[in-house]
Amino acid sequence: MSPEREPVGVIGVGWVGLVTAVCFAELGHEVVARDIVPEKVESLARGETTIHEPGLEEMLRRNAERITFTTEMSELLDRARLLFVCVDTPPTYSGDADLSRVRTVVQELPEDSEHVLIMKSTVPAGTGHSIRRDRAGLPYVSCPEFLKEGTAVKDFMNPDRVVVGADAGDEGAAAAVAALYEPLGGEILHTDVASAEMIKLASNAFLATKISFINEIANVCEEVGADVGEVAAGMGLDARIGSSFLRAGIGYGGSCFPKDVSALKMLAGNTGYHFQLLTAVIEVNELQKRRVVSKLQKHLGSLIGKRIALLGLAFKPDTDDMREASSLVLAARLQGEGAEVVAYDPVAAGRAGEMLDSVEMAASALAALDGADAAVLVTEWGEFATLDWNDVAARMARPLIVDGRNFLDPKALAEAGFEYEGIGKTAIDAPAPAANG
């Protein structure tokens, strides 16, 4: 068998594991994917994906013959040498990453294993060394994932870079992993295990820092009458800065940035180093969500009994992922101020409903906006851009909107009679009543 078509094993079929499994099958590999949750395995075996990710279900069905989903570790070990570990590493109450699932997987590998453990799960720098200390001789490669939810299939197939981290003695394992990715054409960076682990954490922390930075710039823009969109565009033209991740909004969410920023801060703290910058990045992100509440209060005064419609709940568009979504904090804050919260999300409503207490779930954006005293655009789903805002203004009790993602056209909304609050731009207040005679 040619090395680029070597069978691939995937342990943990969450979002990362499923995308990895399906995309390697698309590249022509036999894939054995193992998860401990039988219902998930059964659903995937029927060709039904357990997450919303554009293009994934079609690709799964197209490659169904090449992928086996199983709950049995022994089946995986029999059929694949290269094992991608994709189990989750959620934050603990202390803010450190919970590595218990990773440890369980390592314990499941037989002592004299010839298998190569390829760590895709995001782990604190030093994890690879500690696994190698416990399991001398187990070939180990750190291969962090850089996929974005919503564009994960495209990102997998067109990587900017693939990082392959291996220490002395594991050169053969590293070459086998690199060979899997060679057909994709991205840059393959060979490095040591600890550096690969740090590349992942540092990349996410840097991107989160860019977001908190532009959010603070936005807050200053509001005070001095500047527009953060213009400022970001001007900054982004400097190649050293770059234009991406400079969209101001109500803060970053998701399963990765909040967890990884906190994990890197804790990792540094555990070594006795206080990572001051990340402390601020986290604080700015928390405060940014709360500023929405003061923007509403500026127009409405007390929020007691006010009906507030949240447009979008997922942490970003094109996903049903609700982990660390800004909507969760916002809904709780609004309820804390006495508001009645109604919400709509085209895809995440089911998951959101399980997490949001006493929030009324509407079947459409219009249904959520009907009779509302204000709306907050939380997630920039494409369908919100095409709403008929004249119609919406007529339906709302008060046409007031806080555009938490600077997604809508303020001029069009003002023409439709809205009071408009964006992030980092001049607010548009209610039109003054026409003077008599």
Catalytic residues: 256
Give me 345's structure tokens.
Answer: 């999300």
Least distance CB 335 / ligand UGA (angstroms): 21
Taking contact as CB under 6 A, which single stretch among the options 111-119, 130-138, 255-263, 365-373 is the one that binds ligand UGA?
255-263
- Judged by beta carbon, residue 251 or residue 399, the one nearer ligand UGA is 251
DSSP secondary structure string, 131-143?
HHHHTTT--EEE-
Least distance CB 328 / ligand UGA (angstroms): 12
Q: Does 256 bind ligand UGA (CB under 6 A)?
A: yes
Instruction: Candidates 140, 252, 344, 384: give the one binding ligand UGA (CB under 6 A).
Output: 252
Q: Does 275 bind ligand UGA (CB under 6 A)?
A: no
Q: Does 148 bind ligand UGA (CB under 6 A)?
A: yes
Q: Does 120 bind ligand UGA (CB under 6 A)?
A: no
Question: Residues 26, 28, 29, CA angle at the centre, nearest 5°?
Answer: 105
Q: Does 181 bind ligand UGA (CB under 6 A)?
A: no
Q: Does 384 bind ligand UGA (CB under 6 A)?
A: no
Instruction: Candidates 129, 146, 226, 236: give the one binding ligand UGA (CB under 6 A).
Output: 146
- Judged by beta carbon, residue 19 or residue 131, the one nearer ligand UGA is 19
- Number of residues near ligand UGA (by CB under 6 A): 21
Least distance CB 148 / ligand UGA (angstroms): 4
Q: Which x/- pattern, by CB under 6 A, does the window 80-109 give for ligand UGA?
A: ------------------------------
Sheet of 360-361: strands edge to edge?
A: 360-361, 340-344, 307-311, 374-377, 400-403, 419-421
Contacts of 408 by beta carbon, 8 Å cutoff, 6+ apart: 377, 384, 385, 389, 401, 420
Contacts of 273 by beta carbon, 8 Å cutoff, 6+ apart: none
Q: Does 20 bind ligand UGA (CB under 6 A)?
A: no
State the Cα–Cα distance between residues 337 and 333, nearest whole angstrom: 6
Q: Does 211 bind ligand UGA (CB under 6 A)?
A: yes
Q: Does 287 bind ligand UGA (CB under 6 A)?
A: no
- Judged by beta carbon, residue 138 or residue 281, the one nearer ligand UGA is 281
CB 345 within 8 A of CB 325: no
CB 87 within 8 A of CB 10: no
Least distance CB 39 / ligand UGA (angstroms): 24
Residues in the chain: 437
State the Cα–Cα distance between residues 176 and 79, nearest whole angstrom: 16
Q: Does 149 bind ligand UGA (CB under 6 A)?
A: yes
Instruction: Candidates 20, 63, 204, 212: give the one binding ligand UGA (CB under 6 A).
Output: 204
Q: Is the dihedral of CA 210, 215, 218, 223 positive or negative?
A: negative
Least distance CB 173 / ligand UGA (angstroms): 22
Q: Which amino acid is at 355?
A: M
Q: Does 257 bind ligand UGA (CB under 6 A)?
A: yes
Q: Does 147 bind ligand UGA (CB under 6 A)?
A: yes
- What stretches of 15-174 adopt beta strand conformation (E)? 31-34, 67-70, 82-85, 116-119, 140-142, 161-165
Q: Does 246 bind ligand UGA (CB under 6 A)?
A: yes
Task: Give the rounded distance of the alpha carbon of 174 from its chain centre.
Answer: 28
Task: Give the rounded distance of the alpha carbon of 159 from its chain centre.
Answer: 17
Least distance CB 160 / ligand UGA (angstroms): 9
CB 379 within 8 A of CB 314: yes
Q: Are strands 340-344 and 307-311 parallel, antiparallel or unpaired?
A: parallel
Residues 299-318 that bind ligand UGA (CB under 6 A): 315-316
Q: Which residues bind ligand UGA (CB under 6 A)?
A: 122, 145-149, 204, 207, 211, 245-247, 249, 252-254, 256-257, 260, 315-316
